[in-house]
Amino acid sequence: MNRVRINELLQRPEAGGEVTIHGWVRTCRHSKGFSFLEINDGSIIHNIQCVVDADVPNYDRDVKALQTGASVRVTGRLVDSPGKGQRFEIQAKDVHVYGNAEGYPLQKKGHTMEFLRSIAHLRARSNTFGAVLRVRNVMARAIHDFFQSRGFVYLHTPIITASDCEGAGEMFRVTTLDAGDPPRAEGEIDFAQDFFGKPTSLTVSGQLSAETAALALSDVYTFGPTFRAENSNTTRHLAEFWMVEPECAFFDLDDDVALAEAFLKHIFSTVLSECPDDMDFFNKRIDKTAIETLRHIVESPFERMSYSDAIEILSKSGKSFEFPIEWGLDLQSEHERYLTEEHVKRPLVLTDYPRDIKAFYMRQNDDGKTVAAMDVLVPKIGEIIGGSQREERLDRLQERMKEMGLPEEDYWWYLDTRKFGTAPHAGFGLGFERTIQFCTGMANIRDVIPFPRTPGSAEF
């Protein structure tokens, strides 16, 4: 089809010539003798105004009947617009209606995010979600660009897994057994008869597989969906979310922290430079500090602090927190937010957490109490990255697995990497949706993914 995208039209140096655009009607006003149509095709947040004269042949039948949401093709001259706030408009000479939109639920304004979530199949046609999806796309490309330009290998790790990476047990079971009448052996469900011959789940992280690849290719990253059956109904948790997990051999915790900082800054500066119109929109409508915050972060170094120092700062803060602060307890999001929003007022990397609140694979520090872990905390969101240097010493790893009751048989292949040419290595996981939230200022994580999966909700 002969078609030009609206973003391309609006970037033209000057008006002139005949153009054909296709898109959806955002608003239409019919007055005596002509109609104004605002058309959007999703290529840019701005609409293009089309002025349709009543002498267009199908004016009475089609154009006057047009409703918000209808899909159209418009051909006409691109002219300078006398109206305010737009450079060009189209003087239509031909309008074709693909489909009208009687009863279309997405009217011009005033919809709540909750309502839009209930029409998630249509919300990409709203300004906010169009902008979110375009920014999401640019961020995905920025992520690939960052790693590809540094020689990392993009690794596709399995989504179905028989190992529980976090040891947290919050996994979705994958099975073809009949839930109503599973085969049994000695009273227990007989998973030997299941599809894979053993219990399997959707992955919570690609890390363990990524480690095996890093110990062959040196620098790898994954970027894919992960799943957590945690019943946390928060604005920062999804049951299905996308994670980016770089893993590097011959890398220690300091290298890991430096990589995380460079990585986040690259994503943020790319969004600032490549999404000016959408970021302007977020800055006006969603979060008045969005652009300033990103600029500030790109320009200033991240703060770094140990978990132990953070505990001391929190206990001396004079704040009353809902959850207790005590060395050895995990930090809650209220604590994380205090540290990053109020105490340092920028991204904060916390390191060296107590080993008892962290996963088995994290490298033990010499103090016998902490592990070489790092979390990156950002204002408004809290944790956006979780990472660590991995335990590369076979005996220490086996000791830790024993303490935590993890059977070696289940991890034989993981332990092999420590038997055959083990090497210091480190990596982290970035929550993609939390990063989008941070850039756009969107308050709820359900509103930065096309179709959110959360407890009790898998519609669309």
Residues forming contacts to ligand ATP in the complex (CB under 6 A) are 166, 228, 230, 237-238, 241, 243, 383-386, 429, 431, 433-434, 445
- Nearer Cβ to ligand ATP (87/453): 453
Residue 157 CB, shortest distance to ligand ATP, in Å, is 14
Q: Based on C-alpha coordinates, what's the Rg of the chain?
A: 27
Residue 431 CB, shortest distance to ligand ATP, in Å, is 2
- Nearer Cβ to ligand ATP (70/238): 238
Alpha-carbon span 334 to 331, nearest angstrom: 8
* Residue in 109, 122, 128 with CA at minimum distance from that of residue 282: 128
Contact yes or no for 116/94 (Cβ under 8 A): no
- Nearer Cβ to ligand ATP (70/448): 448
Alpha-carbon span 202 to 240, nearest angstrom: 10
The enclosing H or E element of 215 equals: helix 207-217
Alpha-carbon span 415 to 399, nearest angstrom: 12
Residue 383 CB, shortest distance to ligand ATP, in Å, is 4
- Nearer Cβ to ligand ATP (52/202): 202
The per-residue DSSP string of 95-135 comes to EEEEE--TT-S--SS---HHHHHHTTTTGGGSHHHHHHHHH
- Nearer Cβ to ligand ATP (46/237): 237
Residue 371 CB, shortest distance to ligand ATP, in Å, is 13
* Residue in 123, 69, 120, 74 with CA at minimum distance from that of residue 96: 74
Residue 78, number of CB atoms within 10 A of its CB: 22
What phi, psi does 114 have (nearest 5°)?
Answer: -65, -45
- Nearer Cβ to ligand ATP (90/243): 243
Q: Which residues contact 66 (CB under 8 A, 6 or more apart)?
A: 25, 28, 35, 37, 72, 97, 100
Residue 434 CB, shortest distance to ligand ATP, in Å, is 4
The separation between CA 388 and the C-alpha centre of its own chain, rounded to angstroms, equals: 21
- Return left, alpha or beta for 163; rule: phi > 0 is left, psi -120 to 50 is alpha, else beta: beta
Residue 305 CB, shortest distance to ligand ATP, in Å, is 17
Residue 225 CB, shortest distance to ligand ATP, in Å, is 11
Residue in the shown chain whose Cβ atom is closest to ligand ATP: 431
Amino acid at 58: N
Partner residues linked to 95 by β-bridges: 74
- Nearer Cβ to ligand ATP (123/237): 237
Residue 183 CB, shortest distance to ligand ATP, in Å, is 33
Q: How far is CA 366 from CA 92, 371, 390, in A?
A: 74, 9, 14
Contact yes or no for 284/441 (Cβ under 8 A): no
- Nearer Cβ to ligand ATP (375/392): 375
Partner residues linked to 66 by β-bridges: none
Residue 384 CB, shortest distance to ligand ATP, in Å, is 5
- Nearer Cβ to ligand ATP (25/171): 171
* Residue in 426, 425, 447, 451 with CA at minimum distance from that of residue 437: 447
- Nearer Cβ to ligand ATP (130/429): 429
Residue 322 CB, shortest distance to ligand ATP, in Å, is 16
